[in-house]
């Protein structure tokens, strides 16, 4: 039986090891203990603490999960006021700041600690004899709120200091929410219908204001230290040494802190961090320059609430407010229909923007953006500006107090070609169905049409197709069959001129002629093709080479395929309801029918024949579903054999299913088959049937 002092020693040892592991994980970003071992140790500590409440400690690693709600936050007076920073928005303002410091310190080249300006919430942490006693918000700088319970849940805040800690130490820094955590939180909030956070800064602030710290514990927060408050310790000579000391005590300090001198040094740091800004795992809104020598800081002193020895050099804001003038769509090369807003010009992210993306119909529904709305737009780095949120309170209303404009819906027809715009249930992207005829998709459609596995026009690569379209030689696919040698030479000359290269036609007329003749011959050769190549070349969504082949065999000719309705198409092996609908819609589109007619008129030819269906096999007209594992062959192989005997193999059981083959561990499909009274076979029955009908 362990003595109580042994137990206390074990508890302390477990706490020490858990704190060490947590410091390595959350502060040094260099974990050395596998998660399961950490969890096992934590559980051991929990059970010891439960059995020995006399050794309870609010700073135990077991307490990071938060506590029951407190009624309200107590006020905390800051022994040393929490200051803010003056801002600089231009290089000149930075130069003025440095000149002032040069002059007043008499130092020709004063050293600065240079740091990222984290976009979170300033916090003060108080430690007595190496243990965390209290943490508070900045408040008005003189008095803040005690949010200790919430701060205890932040893993990168040490609850026990490492090494020789002073009797009293207040550490200031920023609580922030890393972007991944913010995104993950919002994704979940959207799923559960909760209110998403506007940005990581609001996320951090809102999380710290929770009266129930168990909620804060679930929020992904982190902390970086950047300054001291009250302490009875003698201080190092420079701020950078203070930061190094804080690291030793177990605090996380931004790895981006550095030292610099002179205006050029500061501006170089500003550019370096600005360039890295979008790739950082958290938001920053500028950099901070702090005079490094503490004695020089003291000599400079303060004005109003800000030190005269430091300045924040701000980056251009990445978010701004403006109003929506209209909503339009853009059709991409793959037919994807992307909605945009046109807005009153606004300065954001360092440039003036007038357009922002709405991504897709889901995003429109989620944001409910309407014409006339005030919106917050965001532009980070080189990415396309996007609408973050609508300021609903400012939505224009009519005399009856109703919104002036209805919710926006995507157009039902493509603005570029007039073909139907469709969106499948499970998809976020809406698409123009006019693949072959839509100008926006023309290049892509032609490139696919001419490619080796499709119609195979030797030598007609992407670059030339783009030029043919750009210079207006080709509108639809059939136009390819009208091109002559002169057209190609002409096109090449114009393309070379446009690219600023010496026209090869001028340099070597003969070579160009030969090249053009070869292309014309390749196009001529492609005039005779096969139905399956043609079907693949048409670029019907989800009709790949193998489906094209099956369709070609099943129908034998183009006309009956074009005439087939979706029910008939679903009878084709491997064609499910989605693909059947796509094929049906493609051929229903008048533009597509015209394009095919134009191909035929241009002399394109493919042999046609009788349908090849196993219609007379023993399983003709039967729909079979395979489920569970088979031992003698794969399900695909079994499916192919059944199809060869005339069956249609389907993926799910319905009233139309004629037979279910249930292998090992068959589940819900077998249950459903039994419920519907559908005939079922086991693997032995299948093998016997296949053996009987082996050809």
**Residue 595: closest CA among 335, 417, 415, 412:** 417
Q: How far is the CB of 357 from ligand IVH (least distance, A)?
A: 30
Query: Rounded to the nearest 5°, which phi and psi values hold at 320?
Result: -150, 165
Binding to ligand IVH (CB under 6 A): which residues in 276-335? Answer: 288, 307, 310, 312
Cβ-contact 220, 184 below 8 angstroms: yes
Candidate segments 80-88, 317-325, 634-642, 651-659, binder of ligand IVH by CB under 6 A: 80-88
Measured from the CB atom, is 18 or 83 closer to ligand IVH? Answer: 83
Tokens standing for 179? 């972007």
Task: State which of residues 27, 63, 112, 115 lies at the interface with ligand IVH (CB under 6 A).
Answer: 115
Binding to ligand IVH (CB under 6 A): which residues in 627-656? Answer: none
Measured from the CB atom, is 83 or 101 closer to ligand IVH? Answer: 83
Burial of 361 (0-12, 13-18, 19+ CB in 10 A): buried
Measure the CA angle with vertex 360, ends 384 and 279; round to 5°: 35
Determine the Cα–Cα distance for residues 147 and 600; give it in Å rounded to an integer: 77
Sign of CA dihedral 589, 593, 595, 596: positive
Cβ-contact 410, 339 below 8 angstroms: yes
Task: State which of residues 27, 42, 45, 85 lies at the interface with ligand IVH (CB under 6 A).
Answer: 85
Q: Tokens 């690291």 belong to which residue?
A: 247
- Report if residue 228 touches ligand IVH, rule: CB under 6 A: no
Q: Which of 117, 290, 443, 669 is catalytic?
A: 117
Task: State which of residues 122, 343, 440, 480 lies at the interface with ligand IVH (CB under 6 A).
Answer: 122
Q: Which helix (H) or strand (E) holds 248?
A: helix 239-249
Measured from the CB atom, is 81 or 332 closer to ligand IVH? Answer: 81
**Parallel, antiparallel, or unpaired for β 143-145 and 75-77?**
antiparallel
Measured from the CB atom, is 113 or 526 closer to ligand IVH? Answer: 113
Q: How far is the CB of 84 from ligand IVH (least distance, A)?
A: 4
Per-residue contact flags (x/-) with ligand IVH for residues 593 to 632, judged by CB under 6 A: ----------------------------------------
Task: State which of residues 118, 157, 228, 558 lies at the interface with ligand IVH (CB under 6 A).
Answer: 118
Give the chain's end-to-end CA distance (angstroms, integer): 79
Total chain residues near ligand IVH (CB under 6 A): 15
Measured from the CB atom, is 98 or 569 closer to ligand IVH? Answer: 98
Residues counted in the chain = 695
Candidate segments 35-43, 114-122, 521-529, 545-553, binder of ligand IVH by CB under 6 A: 114-122
Q: How far is the CB of 216 from ligand IVH (least distance, A)?
A: 18
Q: Which residue is nearest to ligand IVH (CB)?
A: 122
Cβ-contact 67, 213 below 8 angstroms: yes
Query: Rounded to the nearest 5°, which phi and psi values hold at 551?
Result: -65, -45
Q: How far is the CB of 110 from ligand IVH (least distance, A)?
A: 17
Measured from the CB atom, is 83 or 445 closer to ligand IVH? Answer: 83
Determine the Cα–Cα distance for residues 65 and 377; give it in Å rounded to an integer: 36
Q: How far is the CB of 226 from ligand IVH (least distance, A)?
A: 4
Determine the Cα–Cα distance for residues 150 and 514; give it in Å rounded to an integer: 77
**Residue 464: closest CA among 441, 447, 442:** 447
Q: Tokens 């003038």 belong to which residue?
A: 325
- Report if residue 200 touches ligand IVH, rule: CB under 6 A: no
Determine the Cα–Cα distance for residues 456 and 527; give it in Å rounded to an integer: 10
Q: How far is the CB of 285 from ligand IVH (least distance, A)?
A: 8
Measured from the CB atom, is 310 or 662 closer to ligand IVH? Answer: 310
One DSSP character per residue, 9-63 reads HHHHHHHHHHHHHHIIIIISS---S-HHHHHHHHHHHHHHHHH-GGG--TTSGGG
Measured from the CB atom, is 287 or 341 closer to ligand IVH? Answer: 287
- Report if residue 174 touches ligand IVH, rule: CB under 6 A: yes
Tokens standing for 226? 């950047």
Q: How far is the CB of 283 from ligand IVH (least distance, A)?
A: 11
- Torsion region of 621: left, alpha or beta (phi above 0 gives left; psi -120 to 50 gives alpha): left
What is the CA 133 to chain-centroid distance, rounded?
40
Measured from the CB atom, is 121 or 455 closer to ligand IVH? Answer: 121
- 443: annotated active-site residue: no
Angle, helix 462-470 to helix 485-499, in steps of 10 degrees: 90
Q: How far is the CB of 542 from ligand IVH (least distance, A)?
A: 51
Measured from the CB atom, is 84 or 409 closer to ligand IVH? Answer: 84
- Report if residue 227 touches ligand IVH, rule: CB under 6 A: yes
Determine the Cα–Cα distance for residues 470 and 472; give it in Å rounded to an integer: 5
**Residue 294: closest CA among 309, 304, 306:** 309
Q: Which helix (H) or strand (E) holds 485?
A: helix 485-499
- Report if residue 239 touches ligand IVH, rule: CB under 6 A: no
What is the CA 193 to chain-centroid distance, rounded?
20
Measured from the CB atom, is 138 or 622 closer to ligand IVH? Answer: 138
For residue 488, CA distances in Å to 448, 457, 505 come to: 20, 14, 11
Task: State which of residues 182, 226, 289, 555 lies at the interface with ligand IVH (CB under 6 A).
Answer: 226
Candidate segments 79-87, 178-186, 315-323, 474-482, binder of ligand IVH by CB under 6 A: 79-87
Task: State which of residues 15, 78, 117, 442 lies at the interface with ligand IVH (CB under 6 A).
Answer: 117
Measured from the CB atom, is 83 or 467 closer to ligand IVH? Answer: 83
Q: Tokens 């070579």 belong to which residue?
A: 511
Candidate segments 82-90, 207-215, 335-343, 366-374, binder of ligand IVH by CB under 6 A: 82-90
Cβ-contact 488, 516 below 8 angstroms: yes
Q: How far is the CB of 315 from ligand IVH (least distance, A)?
A: 12
Tokens standing for 322? 């403006």
Candidate segments 92-100, 113-121, 213-221, 650-658, binder of ligand IVH by CB under 6 A: 113-121
Q: Contact residues for ligand IVH (CB under 6 A)?
A: 83-85, 115, 117-118, 122, 138, 174, 226-227, 288, 307, 310, 312
Catalytic residues: 117
């Amino acid at each position: 039986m362990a003595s109580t002092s042994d137990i206390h020693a074990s508890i302390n040892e477990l706490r020490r090891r858990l704190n060490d592991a947590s410091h390595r994980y959350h502060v040094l970003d260099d974990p050395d203990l596998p998660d399961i071992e950490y969890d096992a140790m934590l559980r051991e500590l929990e059970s010891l603490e439960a059995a020995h409440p006399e050794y309870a400690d609010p700073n135990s690693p077991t307490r990071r999960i938060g506590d029951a709600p407190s009624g309200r936050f107590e006020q905390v007076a800051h022994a040393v006021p929490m200051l803010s920073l003056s801002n600089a928005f231009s290089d000149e303002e930075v130069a003025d700041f440095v000149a002032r410091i040069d002059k007043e310190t008499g130092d020709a080249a004063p050293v600065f600690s240079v740091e990222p300006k984290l976009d979170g919430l300033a916090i003060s942490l108080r430690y007595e004899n190496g243990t965390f006693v209290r943490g508070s918000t900045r408040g008005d700088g003189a008095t803040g709120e005690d949010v200790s319970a919430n701060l205890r849940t932040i893993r990168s805040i040490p609850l026990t200091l490492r090494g020789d800690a002073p009797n009293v130490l207040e550490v200031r820094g920023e609580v922030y929410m890393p972007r991944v955590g913010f995104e993950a939180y919002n994704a979940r909030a959207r799923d559960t219908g909760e209110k998403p956070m506007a940005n990581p800064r609001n996320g951090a602030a809102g999380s710290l204001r929770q009266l129930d710290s168990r909620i804060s514990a679930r929020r992904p927060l982190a902390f970086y230290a950047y300054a001291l408050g009250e302490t009875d310790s003698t201080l190092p000579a420079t701020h950078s040494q203070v930061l190094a000391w804080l690291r030793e005590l177990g605090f996380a300090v931004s790895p981006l802190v550095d030292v610099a001198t002179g205006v050029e040094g500061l501006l170089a740091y500003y550019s370096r961090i600005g360039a890295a800004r979008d790739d950082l795992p958290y938001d920053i809104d500028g950099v901070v320059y702090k005079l490094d020598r503490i004695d020089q800081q003291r000599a400079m002193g303060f004005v109003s609430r800000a030190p005269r020895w430091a300045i924040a050099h701000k980056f251009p804001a990445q978010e701004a407010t403006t109003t929506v003038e209209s909503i339009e769509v853009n059709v991409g090369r793959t037919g994807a229909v992307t909605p945009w807003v046109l807005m009153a010009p606004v300065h954001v992210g360092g440039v003036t923007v007038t357009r922002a993306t709405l991504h897709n119909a889901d995003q429109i529904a989620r944001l409910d953006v309407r014409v006339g709305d005030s919106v917050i737009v965001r532009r980070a780095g080189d990415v396309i500006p996007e609408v973050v949120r609508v300021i609903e309170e400012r939505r224009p209303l009519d005399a009856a107090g109703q919104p002036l404009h209805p919710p926006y819906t995507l157009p039902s027809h493509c603005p570029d070609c007039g073909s139907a715009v469709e969106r499948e249930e499970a998809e976020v992207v809406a698409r123009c169905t006019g693949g072959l005829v839509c100008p926006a998709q023309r290049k892509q459609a032609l490139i696919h049409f001419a490619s080796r596995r499709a119609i195979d026009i030797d030598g007609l690569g992407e670059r030339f197709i783009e030029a043919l379209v750009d210079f207006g030689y080709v509108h639809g696919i059939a136009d390819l069959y009208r091109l002559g040698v002169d057209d190609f030479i002409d096109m090449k000359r114009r393309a070379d001129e446009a690219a600023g290269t010496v026209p090869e036609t001028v340099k070597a007329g003969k070579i160009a002629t030969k090249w053009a003749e070869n292309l014309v011959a390749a196009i001529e050769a492609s005039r005779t093709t096969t139905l399956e190549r043609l079907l693949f070349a048409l670029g019907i969504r989800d009709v790949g080479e193998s489906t094209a082949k099956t369709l070609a065999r099943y129908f034998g000719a183009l006309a009956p395929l074009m005439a087939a309705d979706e029910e008939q198409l679903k009878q084709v092996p491997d064609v499910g309801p989605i693909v059947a609908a796509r094929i049906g819609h493609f051929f229903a589109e008048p533009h597509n029918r015209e394009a095919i007619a134009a191909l035929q008129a241009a002399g394109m030819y493919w042999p046609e024949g009788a349908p090849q269906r196993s219609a007379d096999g023993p399983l003709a007209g039967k729909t079979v579903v395979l489920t569970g594992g088979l031992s003698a062959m794969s399900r695909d192989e079994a499916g192919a054999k059944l199809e060869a005997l005339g069956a249609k193999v389907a993926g799910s059981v319905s009233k139309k299913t004629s037979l279910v083959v249930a292998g090992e561990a068959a589940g819900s499909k077998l249950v459903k088959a039994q419920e519907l009274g559908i005939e079922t076979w086991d693997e032995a029955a299948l093998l016997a049937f296949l053996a009987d009908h082996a050809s």
